[in-house]
Amino acid sequence: MKRLALALALALSSPVQADPAPPQAAPLVASLRVGVFCALQAMDQRPAPGTLSGWIHVPDRMIDFHWPDRQVVPAAVGLAFGVKSRLVDGAFAAGEMRVYRPGSTTPETWESGFSDTGEQFAFFRFDRDEELIPGLWRFEAWEGETQLYSVEFEVVPAAALPEIVNACGAIS
């Protein structure tokens, strides 16, 4: 009986991990792709005062997802996860990206444009150990008061997905 009580107490005190919700997109969004990629290469930066670091990464070349359609991400420096979107023909929107870290009600934000001419790419790259926060991360794209899409990712300890963490050394 004591073991049962101890097991129940441990289960109730442990944080409950929730599965990420399926991606949600407004009718204005023609395509929405999610995934994880190795991001060990150097990237340019641009100012983004609404983020904790004050800047965002800007890739100098096209980046493909090494693990497309994946919303579960191991927490490891050098890994990145994100969203590629394209609007319906003839559409253009100037707006902002919002990224909510686990436990935060205030998003990190930066200006972004969305169009039908190519994919808009929003991602988060783990650069430092203090960024390796397990739990649900949410990406949202907005044009004014209109949400274009919302995508959740579940970040898990690196040991939960060693095949992805170990593969990055061979890919990047």
Residue 7 has pLDDT above 80, yes or no: no
pLDDT tens digit string along 8-64? Answer: 333 333 344 568 999 999 999 999 999 999 987 778 999 999 999 999 999 988 899
Return the amino acid letter for 93. Answer: A
- Identify the three-state secondary structure at position 155: strand
Does residue 96 contact residue 109 with C-beta atoms inside 8 Å?
yes
In a domain, 12, yes or no: no
pLDDT at 172: 40
Q: Is residue 134 part of a domain?
A: yes
Instruction: Indicate whether 1 belongs to any domain.
Output: no
Residues in CB range of 24: below 8 A, 6 or more apart = 149, 150, 151
Residue 1: pLDDT over 50 = no
Alpha carbon separation from 22 to 34, 48, 171 (Å, rounded): 10, 28, 28
In a domain, 112, yes or no: yes
Mean pLDDT, rounded, for 117-126: 95
pLDDT of the residue at 117: 94
**Residue 18 confidence (pLDDT):** 65
In a domain, 153, yes or no: yes
Residue 11 is predicted with a pLDDT of 37
The pTM of the full predicted model, rounded to 2 decimals, is: 0.86
Domain holding 109: CATH number?
A: 2.60.40.2390
Range of 53's domain? 23-171
Asked if residue 10 is part of any domain, the answer here is: no
Domain count for the chain, please give it: 1
Buried/exposed code over 95-107 (b: 16+ C-beta within 10 A; e: otherwise): bbbbbbbeeeeeb
Interior/surface letters 126-164, b for 16+ CB within 10 angstroms, e for the rest: beeeeebebbbbbbbbbbeeeebbbbbbbbeebeebeeb
Is 4 within the bounds of a domain? Answer: no
Q: Is 38 left (phi over 0), alpha (psi -120 to 50) or beta?
A: beta
pLDDT at 170 over 60: no
Six-digit token pair at 89? 């023909």
Q: Is residue 7 classed as helix, strand or coil in its secondary structure?
A: helix
Q: What percent of the chain has pLDDT over 90?
A: 79
Residue 113 lies in a domain: yes
Half-sphere exposure of 67 (CA within 13 A, CB side): 21
